[in-house]
Chain A
Amino acid sequence: MAEETLQLRKTRYLNPYIAGVILGLVLLAANYFSGRGLGASGAIKSTIVATVKTIAPSHANSAPFYKEELEKHPGNPLNSWLVFQMLGVLVGGFLSGVISRRLTFKVEHSPKISSKRRLIFATLGGILFGFGSQLGRGCTSGSALSGMAVLSLGGFISMMAIFGSGFMFAYFFRKNWI
């Protein structure tokens, strides 16, 4: 009996509508405090810019992207809002994992595919998502979610493009998931 409840607790997630409302309130708080939405990919960009600036300063001064970036945001790129926010996400995700007892090292995949295949696809997906988020000026959180909350046209276009293309390609990769 005790084990059964434990098992239940392990997999049970918060009701999506309640979670959505709380997510909305977090986004609202970000807007109220800082006048901006949430984001994820921007933190990665800042981290890379900071790293390049430290380990290869000459490259940072000559390569066009870094030059533009450092002109736009002078000062330490690591000192950006999104970097702090993403550190918070790691902490928050971890805390939630502790509370709901979901902390385990594992590779999650469909029983039809191997762990190795899952990991290769995850990395590939990450590369594409990373690239796309830079081209599209923001990912699902920064552009689509936060953009939609302020009714930004760009946010709606991003949202439709991301999910539209997801549905379009879903058929070809169904074996990975179902």
Chain B
Amino acid sequence: MLNNNTLIEATDLSRHYEVSNGLFGGKSTVKALSSASFHLQAGSTLAVVGESGCGKSTLARVVTMIEPPTAGQLILDGHRISGDISLTDEQRAELRASVQIVFQDPFGSLNPRQSIGRILEEPVLINRPSVSPTQREQQAREMLAMVGLRPEHYDRYPHMFSGGQRQRIAVARALMLEPRILVLDEPVSALDLSIQSQILNLLVELQERLNLAYLFISHDLSVVRHMADEVMVMYLGRVVESGSAAAVFDSPKHPYTQALLSATPVADPTREQTRIRLQGELPSPLNPPAGCAFNPRCWRAQDRCRVTAPELSDEGTHIVACYFPLHD
């Protein structure tokens, strides 16, 4: 039974891409996302962390229904979405309104030729044609106030705003259709430190006020630690560790999570540096290593790791996909 508050329920969600290897190379499959399972409750934040190519953006695209999953099941706000069942266009549009996304780059995600008012009203114009123009405008003006912008900004254009203000506009646009789930794809990584805290505060405030569920995608672990309730660590398309933020950060069990935590610079010059040196780089998703994807870079890898990939298993406080998890 699903809890009433569960907005996303994903089971073994996968997204594979077919890529051609040139004229005679045939086709091969990129497993951008393989069997990810998680759920997200209203009013809480699930953070997805990992390096580039780990599948976190693919996950965002699947959850926002930009792309259908190739396998597995996704239940969004009580509606089932999977590769085999096709929804009608109407159902799809309705569901899309409940999941909205904020992109990383506030300079590229706003149309420079539209005024802020027009940018904010467009989602309503498309999805709710019955709303009258005056009502739309009123909604947009209320939204401006909600994200901390002034009413006179309604008629201005994106180039007149700084990065932080643009990100506020992007958040406002995402909220226009009153979604219940907001996917935040690196929302603060393009911003300066002093602006970053303003946007994070805004997000926290909006979540409390509107009881939003956040799928927070980031590579900045200090931001994740501040925002997240639950954390999911991904490596090469697979979830390697998942659990409550406190459990994952305080007692990381997967070697990759530990390496990631130790590689993150901490703003404290007096701290002893105990850095785990990871050799090499992320392998290509086209040709992943046999067994556990992390084994070529792992210092604990043994023969078993090079043969079969470990499944996620319960390790007391949270779940980990490793044969030799670390203990404190």
Chains A and B are bound partners: no
